[in-house]
Amino acid sequence: MIEIALAFLAGLLIGSFLNVCVFRLPRDLSVITPARSFCPFCEETIAWYDNIPVLSYILLRAKCRRCGARIPMRYPVVELATAIAFAISVAAFGVTPPALKYAVFSAIMITLIASDLEERILPDEFTIGGALAGLILAWFVPLRGEFAFLILPYSWGTRWLSVGEAVLGAGVSSGSIWLAGWLFEKIRHREGLGLGDVKMIMMIGAFLGLPAALLTLIAASLVGAIGGLLYIKIAGKDASTYELPFGSFLGVAALAVAIYTEAFVRLHPR
């Protein structure tokens, strides 16, 4: 129980850093310097006691202490979501390499969801960087390797077959979505998919393997098509110009698929 509570606390702190990334990466600012957070409106450095995850947001009533500018709801939401994801990872896997892998995966997903919603940007640091992290983690936390077993020699052993599955997951899923986007552009003469989405599905494939990446793609397209149309109707947006945050749909779908295929199965063994 104590390790789940500690994972939750670690998630709050990491979530606080992810918020810094969501704000600074799309603006080409360093996420390291300045080390202290600042108010984007009055540029005042934020004191440590006003920078406590979730708590400060509540105590400050969502306003900057100096200038009164509104603090976006995204801050406590990202912090809480990361904390919950870390707690679920440790609850499902204990303090193990798989828990670390899924904590890293959910942290990246939460950042990309928030960044796409807010800025319509999926930073390369998280998509390409995340894909590399996924390939490396595949060696330490073996994927089941459904497709790798069909194509690669059995003699490679579990770890290398797992890396093969991650490479297949990254390559085939991103390749097919890129091809679909390219065809759409040729036929409809407008951009169907951003390159950021392609890089994001590559990262998801590297972490979850090919079957889960394809499942994520299908789920995200369904949610995006139905949810997006509903939103455009309800909010009265212009469907021909409104850009849907497809990366956010991908992120939500990927988290659902990861929880369903990994954490849920372990928490409820048959």
The amino acid at 103: A
From the list 16-24, 41-49, 87-95, 236-244, the region that binds Zn ion by CB under 5 A is 41-49
Q: Are the CB atoms for 108 and 130 separated by under 8 Å?
A: yes
Residue 67: CB minimum distance to Zn ion, A:
3
Name the H helices within 120-194: 124-140, 146-151, 157-188
Q: Sign of torsion, CA 218 220 222 224? A: negative
Q: Are 102 and 263 in contact (CB under 8 A)?
A: yes
- DSSP-based three-state secondary structure for 159: helix
Least gap, CB of 65 to Zn ion (angstroms): 7
Among 5, 9, 29, 42, binds Zn ion (CB under 5 A): 42
Least Å from the CB of residue 39 to Zn ion:
3
CA 270 to chain CA centroid, Å, is 29
Q: Which stretch binds Zn ion (CB under 5 A): 30-38, 59-67, 129-137, 213-221?
A: 59-67
Least distance in angstroms from the C-beta of 37 to Zn ion = 11
CA-to-CA distance for 145 and 163, rounded, in angstroms? 8
Q: Which residues pair with 45 in a beta bridge?
A: 38
| Residue among 41, 140, 182, 242 that touches Zn ion (CB under 5 A) | 41
Which range binds Zn ion by CB under 5 A, 36-44, 50-58, 190-198, 256-264? 36-44
Please tell me whether the peptide bond between 34 and the residue prior to it is cis, using omega within 30 degrees of 0.
yes
* Whole-number Cα distances in Å, 103 to 11, 109, 254: 9, 10, 13
Answer yes or no whether residue 47 interacts with Zn ion by CB under 5 A: no
Least Cβ distance, residue 70 to Zn ion (angstroms): 10
Among 17-25, 49-57, 60-68, 163-171, the segment contacting Zn ion (CB under 5 A): 60-68
CA distance 236 to 185: 26
39, 62, 121, 256: which one binds Zn ion (CB under 5 A): 39
Choice between 71 and 200, CB closer to Zn ion: 71
Nearer to Zn ion, 24 or 144 (CB): 24
Rounded Cα distance, 156 and 196, in Å: 33
Nearer to Zn ion, 56 or 162 (CB): 56
Site mask for Zn ion (CB under 5 A), range 62-101, x = bound: --x-xx-x--------------------------------
Report the 10 Å Cβ neighbour count for 225. 12
Which residue lies nearer to Zn ion by CB, 58 or 179?
58
Mention every residue, 6+ apart, whose C-beta is less than 8 A from residue 52.
none
Q: Minimum CB separation from Zn ion for residue 123, in Å? A: 25
| Closest to Zn ion by CB, 69 or 229 | 69
> Which positions touch Zn ion (CB under 5 A)?
39, 41-42, 64, 66-67, 69
